[in-house]
Amino acid sequence: MAISVSDTMRTIRLKTFLLMIWFGAIILALGWVIGYLFGNVTLWLTIALVMALMQIWVSYWYSDKIVLASTGTHLVDRNESLEAQTLFDVVEELSIAAGLPMPKVGIMETQEPNAFATGRDPNHAVVVATRGLLQMMNREELSGVIGHELSHVKNRDILLTSMAATLALMVSYLANISWRMMFWGGMGRDRDDRGSNAIVMLIGMLLIFLAPLAATLVRLAVSREREFMADAGSAQITRNPEALASALEKLDLYGKRVPKRAASSTNPAFAELFIVNNVKGDWMTNLFSTHPSTEERIKRLRSMTVY
């Protein structure tokens, strides 16, 4: 049954909103536990938030410079080569179609076919394709891939994923502080009071142990939903869901044919940025993946209609 792109995007926005609510619930529950066990929950929440924000602030504001330098990407202009001209033309055409300012354009010198977008907002965006992608894709398929990356830019996914990372880091810091205080004997409540409700304490300690895992799973779920969103955005921008579906088929075939090379040539630290993550695995691996399965993405794209 065909599903409209607009309905798909509305559903994904709702799922993302609900996942962010789960983040809030995890933090509130963890804050309550810390307040019960140690007291002064406001202080520790503030400390964890400040620590997470400081770390994410650098990543968010300087993400383009960090990623470009770390991946060996160089910015190109239209006249550098035939491949650069094709990439530049496709980015320019689709930027106009998406109502976005023209981003910077880069090529990453690797034969692994892949692409990513970075930058803190549409006015500071960079769209990058690997040399292998430019050699593998025809113009229609390249348009599908670039449409996906421009959708990330348009939907400010760098901001959203930075927020999710901030909340996940905050939970991790809070849990780490709590464990250290336990081992250092820093519980704020007196022994009689704590001992009178051992069950609550046990539940609290389990929550402290499990909260970082739960926060990581929610953050990764947000990332997977935004990949689905960017796929739908590509279909909307190009008016051609099959373009990206065909490109993803080629990328999936490449990953299956040369899995070791595909898995090793992408820095794991930046796996979340790329259009595909070629690390394959079972359901447990997929649960901890930054991307949904390529097969599911292709299936969804081929069920979409832009009308």
Q: Does the structure show a pLDDT above 80 at 304?
A: yes
Residue 3 corresponds to which tokens in the numbers above?
């599903």
Q: DSSP secondary structure string, 117-132?
A: EE-SSGGG-EEEEEHH
129 and 145 in contact (C-beta within 8 Å)?
Answer: yes
Residue 258 corresponds to which tokens in the numbers above?
């040369």
Fold of 75-156+223-305: Zincin-like (3.30.2010)
Length of the chain: 307
CATH 3.30.2010.10 in the chain: give the residue spans: 75-156+223-305
pLDDT at position 278: 61
36 and 200 in contact (C-beta within 8 Å)?
Answer: yes
Q: Does the structure show a pLDDT above 90 at 296?
A: yes
Catalytic residue among 112, 141, 149, 225: 149
Choose the weakest-confidence range: 15-19, 145-149, 178-182, 243-247: 178-182
Q: Cα separation of 106 and 128, whole Å? A: 5
19 and 218 in contact (C-beta within 8 Å)?
Answer: yes
Give the count of alpha carbons within 13 A of 37, CB side only.
30
141 and 250 in contact (C-beta within 8 Å)?
Answer: yes
3-state SS assignment for residue 127: strand
Give 122-154 pLDDT, tens digit per residue.
998 999 999 999 999 999 999 999 999 999 999
48 and 170 in contact (C-beta within 8 Å)?
Answer: yes
Residues whose CB is less than 8 angstroms from the CB of residue 138 and which lie 6 or more positions away in sequence, other chains included:
none
Residue 164 corresponds to which amino acid?
A
Confidence label for 262 from pLDDT (cuts 50, 70 and 90): very low
Choose the weakest-confidence range: 77-81, 95-99, 179-183, 240-244: 179-183
73: left (phi over 0), alpha (psi -120 to 50) or beta: beta
3-state SS assignment for residue 104: strand
Residue 215 corresponds to which tokens in the numbers above?
């926060």
Decide the pairing of beta strands 104-108 and 73-75.
antiparallel
Q: Which of 64-68, 112-116, 273-277 is predicted most confidently?
A: 112-116
Annotated active-site residue 149? The verdict is yes
- What number of other Cβ atoms are within 10 A of residue 74's Cβ? 13
80 and 99 in contact (C-beta within 8 Å)?
Answer: no
Distance of CA 121 to the CA centre of its chain: 15
